[in-house]
């Protein structure tokens, strides 16, 4: 763009920003339109807001600051309400708290928080002589994120890996929000920290000799995790030992549960491959377990000389087989868990004497325990009809207990320890909710909406008892629906600020996730992606028909790929929603997917489609939110993003708002809030900062249905 245009635009934006701050929002900021023509399959496409991608251009920053000033002015009257919500939500949190200690090696590890401090403090205590947690043992602070974050507006802790001898800690940190992690080494005896040892580290693990580390790094431009390195921590430079050259694949390093083998995993959306190296032989060569085969997804673990393979070969929802180390090919497999079309085998956790199968059926989590000595299986049961349950990680391979987390939308996060011999579950801790919370005041249900093609779509809903089912209640509908990532119905203490004001909250478990198995993902990706959007619309219409709410009382939210969902359904049915919050939304689908130089693009072809192929191009363009903005009325819309987001670049939501503002015909609010300070795809890193953001978003959505106190 010519420099004269930049200067004029900069002046205009700054003047408008000043007017906004001093005299109120007379007009929203409008960026200059600049011709930018792309040729897509022989078609010339002009994108007048393409210049907003110029991150170092001062006119871009000025425009975003003007948008922030406009949003601040437009929501100024909401600040007292936002402050009330923040105080209310903070009042439910036990600010000084302690996690449940977990044994790993000769220590028990835990984290704790202190009132007024943004970040957790990671600690350990040496176990007692009987192997139990000893409160009297001296506390050793591994990492105090509050001290690490001093002088920094953002700090994210990535990996934390303790050496086998318990004496050293490898960890990674990001201080920009761009998910760009540096690797450090801490001596846990002296406290000395060395590093950074490497940049752009995405995963890390130890060899058994307590001397060599293996780590993965990402490409500087595309952010694809593509290289594996070996590092002698007693001297020497990192040595490249593996490079994943296929742009559709990423790679990571890990270790089997029994710690016998290091693993290098290459993964794409539809194909996985594992390489193994004995952890006691760090200078050896990783050997391929099973060569990659298009469409074959498998994971590997090891126990007592056998490999345990979770595989989708001949098993859409996965099955579990064992394979001898000498001959791991399918002709030597012995099936342990068969495939079941109605049950998704999400994972397995191996122990010396037990195996825990992590499964999902009809959108609900469950565990089954196998006793290797006695044989047979034991099912776990949970008390509610709508809930979430997750393995929490039980590091000790010899453990006879299994740590799990249970919660629902009315039951706070609860840590249980299950005796794998008897099945008995012992509650170790339930997160304390302050402020007079009483779960008996609320109810949660599983609903089923019928999609237009007859498919039943599960919904999870929570509300305060006494809610009138006459269409008068406001309702907050959330969904994601991509990458095979289901949305669990979990507990949120902040959410009760909505429920106590008469608003119901629902999750639509639409196609694109994995709630009903791998087919649920398949039917919401590639050339079936439209199912994700129509499922959401049909779920909304179901809630209206059943008088849970009404069109003018329905607010919706989604983030990232869920932000794409928000943009698509708002284009398709703008009449159906009162207000929309699109967080870090993936809305400029075509410009992003047609540019292979952008972070993460090429690897996404297997999820969304390769737009260089004309059929995929036409299908994607038909739903891309930015490309389908039309001259019509839209609901009230709040768009939030971060200038340093690495997953969905800030310019996608910025361009979307600019084009929408220039095109829509209604007077409804359209606001963009962009964090200009270091922040990431998940927003701020500090817990109090994140809570303030939530309070603002809740205040805005509640105000759109007339609730302002």
Q: 47 in a domain, yes or no?
A: yes
Q: Is the alpha carbon torsion for 225, 226, 230, 231 positive or negative?
A: negative
CA distance 653 to 631: 18
Q: Contact 623/530 with Cβ under 8 angstroms?
A: yes
Whether 79 and 127 map to the same domain: the answer is no
Q: How far apart are CA 597 and CA 520, in angstroms?
A: 31
pLDDT in tens, 642-693: 999 999 999 999 999 999 999 999 999 999 999 999 999 999 999 999 999 9
Give the pairing type, strands 442-450 and 456-464.
antiparallel
- The residue whose two tokens read 């345990």 is 308
**How does 564-582 read in b/e, with b if 16+ C-beta sit within 10 Å?**
bbbbbbbbbbbebbbbbbb
Same domain, 135 and 187: no
49 & 112 share domain: no
| Residue 132 sits in the same domain as residue 210 | no
Element (H, E) at 84: helix 79-90
pLDDT at residue 411 above 90? yes
CA distance linking residue 327 with residue 418, whole number of Å: 35
The number of residues in the chain equals 709
Q: What per-residue confidence (pLDDT) applies to 498?
A: 98
The pLDDT, as a whole number, for residue 659 is: 97
Are 225 and 181 spatial neighbours (Cβ–Cβ below 8 Å)?
A: no
Write down the catalytic residue from 252, 494, 560, 703. 560
Q: Of residues 645, 685, 693, 703, which has the active-site annotation?
A: 645
**C-alpha–C-alpha distance, residues 105 and 191, integer Å:** 19
- pLDDT tens column, 307-334: 999 999 999 999 999 999 889 999 999 9
- Residue 644, in any domain of the structure: yes
What is the residue whose two structure tokens read 């089923």?
448
Tell whether 280 is covered by a domain.
Answer: yes
Q: What pLDDT is stored for residue 24 in this prediction?
A: 45
Say yes or no: 630 and 664 in one domain.
Answer: yes
Total number of domains in the chain: 3
* Residue 136 Cα distances to 127, 153, 202, 534, angstroms: 10, 36, 36, 58
Average pLDDT over residues 82-88: 98
Is 141 in the same domain as 259?
Answer: no
Q: Are residues 101 and 185 in the same domain?
A: no
Do residues 70 and 101 both lie within one domain? no
For residue 31, what pLDDT is reported? 87
For residue 78 the two structure tokens come to: 């909401």
Yes or no: say if 12 and 4 are a contact pair by the CB < 8 Å rule: no
End-of-domain residue from the set 112, 128, 151: 151
Q: Does residue 681 carry a catalytic annotation?
A: yes
Residues 620 and 568 in one domain: yes
Residue 276: predicted pLDDT? 98
Give the Cα separation of 432 and 473 in Å (integer): 29
**Cβ distance 668 to 637 under 8 Å?**
yes
Let me know if residue 700 belongs to a domain. yes
pLDDT at 379 over 70: yes
How far the first Cα of the chain sits from its last, in Å, is: 46
- Of 566, 576, 581, 512, nearest to 543 by C-alpha is 576
Of 132, 151, 170, which residue sits at a domain end?
A: 151
Express as a percent the part of the chain with pLDDT over 70: 96
Q: Is the pLDDT of residue 19 over 60?
A: no
Q: Does 24 lie in the same domain as 124? A: no
Position 30 confidence tier, pLDDT thresholds 50, 70, 90: confident
What is the distance between the alpha carbons of residues 697 and 29, in angstroms, rounded to a whole number? Answer: 21
pLDDT the model gives residue 26: 57
Is 523 tagged catalytic?
A: no
> Mean pLDDT over all residues of the chain?
95
Is 335 domain-assigned? Answer: no
Report if residue 437 sits inside a domain: no
Annotated active-site residue in 302, 370, 521, 681: 681
User: pLDDT of 275-309, one tens digit each?
Assistant: 999 999 999 999 999 999 999 999 999 999 999 99
pLDDT at position 25, please? Answer: 45
Domain that holds residue 481: 18-90+443-704
Name residues whose C-beta falls within 8 Å of residue 164's C-beta, 6 or more positions apart in sequence.
105, 206, 208, 210, 259
CATH code of the domain in which 624 resides = 3.40.50.1820
Query: Long-range contacts of range 344-347, CB-CB < 8 Å, 24 or more positions apart?
Result: 344/317, 344/318, 344/514, 344/516, 344/517, 344/518, 345/310, 345/317, 345/318, 345/319, 345/320, 346/318, 346/514, 347/299, 347/310, 347/391
pLDDT digits (tens, 9 = 90+) for 42-80: 999 999 999 999 999 999 999 999 999 999 999 999 999
DSSP string, 570-617: HHH-GGG-SEEEEES----HHHHHT-TTSTTTGGGHHHH--TTSHHHH
The set of residues, in sequence order, having a beta carbon less than 8 Å from that of 7 and lying 6+ positions away, is none
In a domain, 501, yes or no: yes
Indicate if the pLDDT at residue 131 is higher than 50.
yes
Distant-in-sequence, close-in-space partners of 462: CB < 8 Å, separation ≥ 6: 409, 410, 442, 443, 444, 489, 495, 499, 504, 505, 506
Confidence at residue 287, expressed as pLDDT on a 0 to 100 scale = 97
In DSSP terms, 147 is beta-bridged to none
Domain ends where: 245, 263, 293?
A: 293
| Confidence at residue 236, expressed as pLDDT on a 0 to 100 scale | 83
Q: What is the pTM of this model?
A: 0.94
* Whether residue 22 has pLDDT greater than 90: no
Residue 105 CB burial class (10 angstroms; 0-12, 13-18, ≥19): middle
pLDDT tens readout for residues 265-277: 999 999 999 999 9
The pLDDT of residue 555 is 98
Task: Let me know whether 107 and 220 are in one domain.
Answer: no
DSSP code, position 521: H
Amino acid 27: pLDDT? 82
- Say how far apart CA 317 and CA 331 lie, in whole Å: 20
Calpha distance 160→449 (Å, rounded): 42
Q: Which residue has the tokens 């509650």?
A: 427
CA distance 379 to 389: 13
**Mean pLDDT value across residues 589-608:** 94
Indicate whether 412 belongs to any domain. Answer: no
Residue with tokens 């489609």: 609
Residues 161 and 56 both lie in one domain: no
Residue 197 has pLDDT above 70, yes or no: yes
| Residue 633, pLDDT above cutoff 70 | yes
Q: What is the CATH number of the domain that holds 218?
A: 2.130.10.120
Q: How does pLDDT run across 90-102, given as a tens digit for each residue?
A: 999 999 999 999 9
């Amino acid at each position: 763009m010519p420099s004269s245009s930049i200067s004029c635009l900069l002046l205009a934006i700054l003047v408008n920003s000043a007017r906004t701050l001093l005299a109120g929002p007379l007009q929203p900021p409008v960026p200059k339109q600049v011709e930018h023509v792309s040729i897509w399959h022989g078609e010339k496409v002009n994108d007048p807001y393409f210049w907003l991608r110029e991150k170092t251009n001062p006119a871009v920053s000025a425009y975003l600051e003007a948008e922030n000033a406009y949003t601040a002015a437009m929501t100024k009257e909401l600040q007292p309400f936002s402050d009330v919500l923040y105080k209310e939500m903070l009042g439910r949190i036990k600010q000084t708290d302690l996690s449940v200690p977990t044994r790993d090696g000769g220590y028990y590890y835990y984290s704790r928080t202190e009132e007024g401090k943004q970040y957790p403090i990671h600690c350990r205590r040496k176990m007692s002589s009987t192997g139990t947690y000893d409160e009297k043992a001296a506390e050793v602070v591994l990492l105090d994120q509050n001290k690490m974050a001093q002088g920094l507006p953002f700090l994210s802790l990535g990996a934390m890996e303790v050496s086998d001898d318990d004496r050293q800690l490898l960890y990674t940190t990001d201080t920009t929000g761009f998910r760009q992690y540096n690797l450090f080494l801490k001596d846990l005896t002296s406290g000395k920290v060395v590093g950074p040892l490497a940049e752009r580290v995405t995963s890390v693990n130890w060899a058994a000799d307590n001397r060599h580390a293996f780590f993965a790094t990402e490409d500087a431009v595309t952010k694809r995790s593509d290289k594996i390195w070996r590092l002698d921590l007693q001297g020497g430079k990192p040595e490249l030992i593996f490079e994943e050259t296929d742009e559709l694949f990423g790679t990571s390093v890990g270790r089997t549960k029994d710690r016998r083998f290091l693993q290098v995993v290459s993964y794409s959306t539809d194909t996985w491959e594992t390489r193994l190296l004995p952890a006691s032989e760090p200078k050896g060569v990783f050997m391929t377990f099973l060569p990659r085969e298009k469409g074959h997804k498998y994971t590997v673990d090891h126990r007592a000389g056998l490999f345990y393979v979770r595989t989708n070969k001949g098993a859409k929802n996965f099955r579990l087989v064992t394979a001898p180390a000498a001959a791991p090919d399918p002709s030597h497999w012995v099936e342990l868990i068969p495939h079941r079309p109605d049950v998704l085998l999400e994972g397995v956790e191996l122990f010396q004497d037990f195996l825990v199968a992590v499964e999902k059926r009809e959108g609900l989590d469950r565990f089954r325990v196998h006793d290797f000595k006695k044989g047979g299986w034991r099912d776990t049961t949970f008390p509610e009809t709508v809930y979430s349950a997750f393995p929490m990680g039980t590091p000790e391979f010899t453990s006879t207990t299994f740590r799990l987390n249970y919660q629902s939308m009315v039951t706070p996060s609860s840590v249980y320890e299950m005796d794998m011999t008897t099945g008995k579950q012992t509650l170790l801790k339930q997160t304390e909710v302050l402020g007079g919370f009483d779960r008996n005041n609320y109810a949660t249900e599983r609903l089923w909406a019928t999609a237009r093609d007859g498919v039943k779509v599960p919904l999870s809903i929570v509300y305060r008892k006494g809610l009138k089912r006459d269409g008068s209640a406001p309702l907050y509908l959330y969904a994601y629906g991509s990458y095979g990532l289901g949305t669990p119905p979990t507990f949120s203490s902040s959410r009760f600020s909505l429920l106590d004001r008469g608003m119901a909250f629902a999750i639509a478990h639409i196609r694109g996730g994995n709630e009903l198995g791998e087919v649920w993902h398949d039917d919401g990706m590639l050339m079936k992606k439209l199912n994700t959007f129509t499922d959401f619309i049909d779920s909304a219409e179901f809630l209206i028909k059943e008088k849970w709410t009404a069109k003018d009382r329905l607010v919706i939210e989604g983030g990232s790929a869920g932000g794409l969902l928000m943009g698509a359904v708002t284009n398709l049915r703008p009449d159906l929603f009162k207000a929309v919050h699109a967080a870090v939304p993936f809305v400029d689908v075509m410009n992003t997917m047609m540019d292979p130089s952008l972070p993460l693009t090429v690897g996404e072809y297997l999820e969304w489609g390769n737009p260089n192929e004309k059929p995929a191009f036409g299908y994607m363009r038909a739903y891309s939110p930015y490309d389908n903005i039309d001259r019509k009325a839209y609901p009230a819309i709040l768009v939030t993003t971060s200038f340093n987001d690495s997953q969905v670049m800030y310019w996608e939501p910025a361009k979307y708002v600019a084009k929408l503002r220039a095109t829509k015909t209604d007077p409804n609010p359209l606001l963009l809030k962009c964090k200009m300070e270091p922040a990431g795809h998940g927003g701020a890193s500090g817990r109090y900062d994140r809570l303030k953001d939530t309070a603002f978003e809740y205040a805005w959505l509640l105000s759109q249905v007339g609730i302002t106190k």
